[in-house]
Amino acid sequence: MLRLITDFDGPIVDVSPRYYRVYQLCLEKTRRQHQAVRELSKDEFWQLKRQRVPEREIGIISGLDEAQALEFAALRRQIVHTLPYLQYDQLVPGAVEALKKVERAGIELVVMTMRRVIELDYALNKFDLGRFFRQNRCYRLDNDYIKTRDIDEKPLLMQQALKELPPAEDTWMVGDTEADIVAAKSNGVKAIAVLSGIRDRTQLEAYEPDWIVNDLSDAIDLIFCQVPPKISV
């Protein structure tokens, strides 16, 4: 049996519209009346996010003072992953077709995400993605879990999955962050990083994944180049 473990945000779902909408809201709520600020374009904002520029610094770049920037960052952390804003998420183009391709090839699909149960279930229902991921193949956080650092916590999620799942002949991990790469490499899993998410190439290269490709579709094509010829799509 072959297995593909995929992150959710980045390979499958594009969170940039949500993050940008929250940025706009937080900037508006934090600025003083009549204060001149510079709202970044979505492309400008997302480029900063992909370069891992801190929220406080994004606030300052947008015209907030130091105190306001700290308030801006705190407000963003408080609301960005809440249900009212998850509606802004969109599917990454080609992601559903890629999942269908994996399914037709008989490769087991597992989703591994730092979303909490309620956040993942919302998206699975909204985008009709539950058909690809059985409940016992969904690795996510409990609803009351308080996150600290993804790069420390996701390897633990990977350890749990590998302990619970039946043995596989080969396993790949597809993700868009350093947490995905570290989770895979620290557990002997092949790491494929995608550029369709929240990190740019420079950030991903620093963690030395096995491959870097554009998106989930390209990751699947790469996997099919690695698997035995008997696997057909």
Read off the pLDDT of residues 118-130 as tens digits, 9 standing for 90 and up. Answer: 999 999 999 999 9
Residue ranges in the chain assigned as alpha helix (H): 16-30, 42-50, 55-61, 66-79, 83-86, 95-104, 117-126, 150-164, 178-185, 201-205, 216-226
**Which tokens sit at 92?**
């990454």
Give Rg (Cα) of the chain.
Answer: 18
Query: Over 70: is that where the pLDDT of 233 sits?
Result: no
Span 28-37, pLDDT tens digits: 999 999 999 9
Using left for φ > 0, alpha for ψ between -120 and 50, and beta otherwise, residue 104 falls in alpha
Span 45-60, pLDDT tens digits: 999 999 999 999 999 9
SS3 6: strand
Q: Which fold has domain 2-15+91-226?
A: Rossmann fold (3.40.50)
Closest CA to 64 of 75, 74, 56: 56
pLDDT of residue 54: 97
Give the whole-angstrom CA distance, residue 217 versus residue 173: 14
Closest CA to 85 of 25, 128, 152, 2: 25
Mean pLDDT of 12-33: 97
Span 109-119, pLDDT tens digits: 999 999 999 99
Mean pLDDT of 170-188: 97
pLDDT of residue 228: 59
pLDDT of residue 229: 44
- Where does the pLDDT of residue 230 fall: very low under 50, low under 70, confident under 90, or very high at 90 and above? low
Query: Over 90: is that where the pLDDT of 16 sits?
Result: yes
β-pairing, 13-14 vs 90-91, is: antiparallel
SS3 169: coil
Span 73-107, pLDDT tens digits: 999 999 999 999 999 999 999 999 999 999 999 99
pLDDT of residue 145: 87
**Global model pTM greater than 0.85:** yes
Give the whole-angstrom CA distance, residue 4 versus residue 121: 20
Query: Domain residue spans in the chain?
Result: 2-15+91-226, 16-86
Orientation angle between helical segments 16-30 and 66-79, nearest 10 degrees: 140
